[in-house]
Amino acid sequence: MLEHMMFKGTYAYKSGEFSRIIARNGGDENAFTSKDYTAYYQKMHKSKLELAIKMEADRMRNLTFSNRELTKERQVVIEERRMRVEDKPNSKVYENLRFISFDEKGAYHSPVIGFQADIESYSLNDLRVWYEKYYAPNNATLVVVGDVDPIQVIDFAKKYFGNYRYNPDIKVSKNPSITLKGHSKILKLKAELPFYVLSFPVPSLKTTTNESTAYKLEMLAYALDNGLSKKLIRNQQIASSIGVGYRLYDKYDTLFTISFIPAQGVNNDTVLSAIKTQVAELINKPALIKDELIRTKAQLEADFVFEQDQISTQSYYLGMLSTVGLGIDKMFTYVDQMNNVSAEDVATVAKQYLIFSNANSVELIPQEIK
């Protein structure tokens, strides 16, 4: 909610003026909130660098709070939740997966956008207290990417942020995720297709005691995604969709997920059995995926090179890695770390973490859409 209010005016700029000035100068801007941080960004010509920093600094400490704007934005956020979650059965599945995979006392249990009851109950004072406490220079990372003079960037940052008081009361609470295992849930929702998701509790790069483990899990996700797609969709034709995911850069312990939509006339147990067989084969015969790993590594390296053409991608990774406490060097060592992962490494982490008796699961049973 506060992310939305950050575009609704300061003492220097009226509501909406921030966006109009950016657009008038040929730029664009937006914001997003993840499980671990909120980010605000602008893309403008380098000649407008000072303007961008000046305006961003202004709204860090000078936001005005209007009940009128809050009322409008509350409805916008409620509508966002409806469109992103309530009207999308698969999103409801993932929301419920978080409920049963993370304890409510820790991070990642609740949805980023909040529950509707939360959205409806936010007061102006709630937002103001949060803003005044956490929107301070010592709780922010400024990232500038482009053909700019670093000395000039530092000078502008000092000029516009330098007089802001650091908040000594900021103590970012250590509220790590508490992963759960062995829970299942069935959802009966109006939907066109069934959907099934499994989650396994795993460490992230930030929480693992051995960094190589996280990169092995990352490679396992790629290997399984490609392998399951080939076997279950193209060869056996028992699934119409397969997805494997791992959140390498989460701040706290995270999930390794496997999702699927069964082919028409195929039940979930058939697909689950095939997935278990594929995982067991990977564990017992890692040599079978060596060629797949070679292709995956080549693709990852190519993707990394092409991503560097986008300053938005560079700034995203630099900001994210710094904010979650990993350090920006992780951006530049990713390819080397992934190239060091062997087929045997992938088999080892699969055996250690893909224990199906520990998995959480959510099954969507479609109900008739009227």
Give me the residue spans of the domains in the chain.
2-161, 184-367
Token readout for 148 is 């700019």
Confidence at 368, pLDDT banded by 50, 70, 90? confident
CA gap 154, 159 in Å, rounded: 8
pLDDT of residue 163: 92
Residue 353 has pLDDT above 90, yes or no: yes
Q: What is the pLDDT of residues 42-98, one digit of tens each?
A: 999 999 999 999 999 999 999 999 999 999 999 999 999 999 999 999 999 999 999
- Average pLDDT for residues 184-204, to the nearest whole number? 97
Give the helix/strand (H/E) hosting 29.
Answer: strand 28-33
pLDDT of residue 172: 66
Confidence at 173, pLDDT banded by 50, 70, 90? low
Task: Return the percentage of the chain with pLDDT > 70, whole number.
Answer: 99
pLDDT of residue 174: 74
Read off the pTM. Answer: 0.94
pLDDT of residue 370: 63
Residue 175 has pLDDT above 90, yes or no: no
- Average pLDDT for residues 139-153, to the nearest whole number? 97
- Average pLDDT for residues 292-301, to the nearest whole number? 95
Token readout for 312 is 């938005």
Residue 9 has pLDDT above 80, yes or no: yes
Same fold, 2-161 and 184-367: yes
Give the helix/strand (H/E) hosting 338.
Answer: helix 329-339
Task: Return the percentage of the chain with pLDDT > 90, whole number.
Answer: 95
Give the helix/strand (H/E) hosting 248.
Answer: none
- Looking at the domain that runs over 2-161, which CATH code has it been given? 3.30.830.10
Confidence at 170, pLDDT banded by 50, 70, 90? confident
pLDDT of residue 57: 97
pLDDT of residue 308: 87
Residue 291 has pLDDT above 80, yes or no: yes
Helices 211-228 and 290-307: angle between axes, nearest 10 degrees:
110
Residue 171 has pLDDT above 80, yes or no: no
pLDDT of residue 168: 85
Q: 10 Å Cβ neighbour count for 107?
A: 20
pLDDT of residue 167: 87
Whether residue 184 contacts residue 363, with contact meaning beta carbons closer than 8 Å, is answered with: yes
pLDDT of residue 323: 95
Question: What is the CATH architecture of 184-367?
Answer: 2-Layer Sandwich (3.30)
Using alpha carbons, select from 250, 255, 106, 247 the residue that is nearest to residue 173.
Answer: 106
pLDDT of residue 280: 97
Q: What is the pLDDT of residues 298-352, one digit of tens each?
A: 999 999 999 988 999 999 999 999 999 999 999 999 999 999 999 999 999 999 9
Find the angle CA(124)-CA(126)-CA(129) to the nearest 5 degrees: 105
Q: List the beta bridge partners of residue 225.
A: none
